[in-house]
A and B are shown apart, each in its own frame.
Chain A
């Protein structure tokens, strides 16, 4: 049974893995838009300067240049903050990368409220929805450093566009890094309730599941790092086995994984679904973890929603 381990940086894991992949694959090129220190692509740039292009503050054109490199036979990784990579560059990602089926991997750091002090302009909460809606796009939201390492290798090995969403904050290690594209990871077994989580909230899912176990409730925890392709069989098994699903994501509830879970179960095996995430608002400056609490993702709120579902299912009074 998975437990919550010490925190480790996803960005560091990305930067180091990129060098390892680059050593094996001379065809790999990396682009950044003046944030290479923060995204950690600078590590690749120091090691392979001839294959590294820091294009400055031009995120949309970083994406079209990456597409041109990819169409010409290179595998291109392009990194910047998520708000710029998914938001600022959206239609270039759509046309130059996805429509052209260009082999570009967007690894976006600093997603969500966990950006903290930079405030609402930089805290994109819509990127999963934006990227998931693009035909041909693979979308991965790692919960920790081991999954980040596995995800970088997996998207490198897979032909076609990909979006990998990383956080600025280090996150507790919660997986063994056995990530596979298209597969949900069952981090904890259980039959009374399912908690589906992605990214930073997987650790909170495990914490609440452990608390529930103390009072005799068994909660299954599924890490859906592979948001697209989505492991529909694993979700529907969970719906049948547990009859209720709680979804946790550091993202807008309007267009994120909760909406995906609700629509998928609704069409195939309707069960009560509750979504924990950010309501239809922008974020603000503050301590990263305090922001999660303030914007509806506190442990207390997660507990309440879990009990609400258990009551709805008649599993508790």
Chain B
């Protein structure tokens, strides 16, 4: 299936990814806080969903048939805000209001402030349950949308994540796709030294998920996995996307330092230079 992905599609996604990454850095820098590490790791997955996979119409954010994207790891809000802004849901300049008093861009995604956000999340292990409820609602009809939940690997330590996964498998929700942003780090350090979750793919299979393991930064693998997930009709699909925390910025990669810490002005300059992305939100 990966062969069906054209070079043009890949190039287009790489372009939007660069824009989203630079906006994530500008936003968190302007806010002086936030979660750049986990936003950069999930960036390519969110980008591929928002610009390729999901059935969306920015001119009709309340379209009943739109696909639902639930960012269960709500702290990666900058990645979703940046992607949706680029897709036309909100003005790109507004991204720099992240986390400021009065802003619609809350520290964790908030559907009360931004109507095209499907679920307000933040406390971990809840968005995945809400996604299960949305998928059940679609099954009751008459709508036919699909629901995608993005969860974090620290979030896989939460019991409620497994409650929700159990329910998705039990109800054989073939209209549900769960994507794990497996960047290997949580706030205090590596997941495997804090509370290991491996073998995570085996666990998901045991919970009745058609489980795929891919690189979360390789668009051919990402789009191939999405296509395969759509073809599965017997139950839910899980994608374990191996990612790099801080992906795209050399000094942020593979460390938990920037899990919850914004870049300084000097770091922002270096990072943007590395990305080679001068455009985007105003500075």
Contact = CB atoms under 8 A, between A and B. Distances in A.
A72 B137 contact: yes
A53 B171 CA distance: 10
A167 interface: no
Given A64-B130, A64-B133, A58 B167 contact: yes
- Most chain-B Cβ atoms within 10 A of its Cβ — which of A29, A68, A96, A99? A68
A234 interface: no
B42 to A, nearest CB: 20
B140 A65 contact: no
- Most chain-A Cβ atoms within 10 A of its Cβ — which of B120, B121, B122, B133? B133
B129 A96 contact: yes
A71 B119 contact: yes
B118 interface: yes
A64 B160 contact: yes
A95 B136 contact: no
B167 A55 contact: yes
Interface string B111-137: 110000011111101111111111111
B126 A65 contact: no
B137 A64 contact: no
A39 B134 CA distance: 25
B133 A66 contact: yes
Nearest to B165: A61
Interface in A55-104: 55-56, 58, 60-61, 63-74, 76, 91-92, 94-96, 99-101
| Interface of chain A: mostly helix, strand, loop or mixed | helix
B210 to A, nearest CB: 21
B140 A67 contact: no
Interface in B171-206: none
A65 B129 contact: yes
A100 B120 contact: yes
Nearest to A61: B163
Nearest to B133: A68
A64 B126 contact: yes
B166 interface: yes
Contacts of A76: 133
A67 B137 CA distance: 11
A51 interface: yes
A73 B118 CA distance: 12
B164 interface: yes
Interface string A3-37: 00000000000000000000000000100000000
A267 interface: no
A60 B158 CA distance: 11
B130 A68 contact: yes
B138 interface: yes
A67 B130 contact: yes
B76 to A, nearest CB: 16
Contact of A95 (B123, B128, B133, B140): B123
B138 to A, nearest CB: 7
B140 A68 contact: no
Contacts of A58: 160, 163, 166-167
Contacts of B163: 58, 60-61
Interface residues of A, number: 30
B235 to A, nearest CB: 17
Given A60-B163, A100-B111, A69 B136 contact: yes
B137 A74 contact: yes
Nearest to A29: B140
Interface string B134-154: 111110100000000000000
A148 to B, nearest CB: 26
Contacts of A100: 111-112, 119-120, 130
Nearest to A68: B133
A135 B261 CA distance: 30
Nearest to A67: B130
Nearest to B121: A95
A61 B134 contact: no
B160 A92 contact: yes
Given A55-B167, A68-B137, A72-B134, A61 B129 contact: yes
A91 B125 CA distance: 11
Contacts of A29: 140
A69 B112 contact: no
A51 B112 CA distance: 27
A34 to B, nearest CB: 12
B216 to A, nearest CB: 25
A91 B164 CA distance: 15
A61 B125 CA distance: 9
Please name the 4 residue pairs, one residue from A and one from B, whose CB atoms are nearest each other, closest first. A68-B133, A64-B129, A72-B137, A61-B163
Given A51-B140, A61-B132, 15 more contacts: A29-B140, A50-B140, A60-B160, A61-B129, A61-B167, A64-B132, A64-B133, A68-B131, A69-B133, A70-B133, A71-B118, A76-B133, A95-B126, A96-B126, A100-B111
25 contacts: A61-B164, A63-B129, A64-B160, A64-B164, A65-B130, A65-B133, A67-B119, A67-B129, A67-B133, A68-B119, A68-B129, A68-B130, A68-B133, A69-B136, A69-B137, A71-B130, A71-B133, A74-B137, A92-B126, A95-B122, A95-B126, A96-B126, A96-B129, A96-B130, A99-B110
Interface of B: 68, 110-112, 118-123, 125-138, 140, 160, 163-164, 166-167
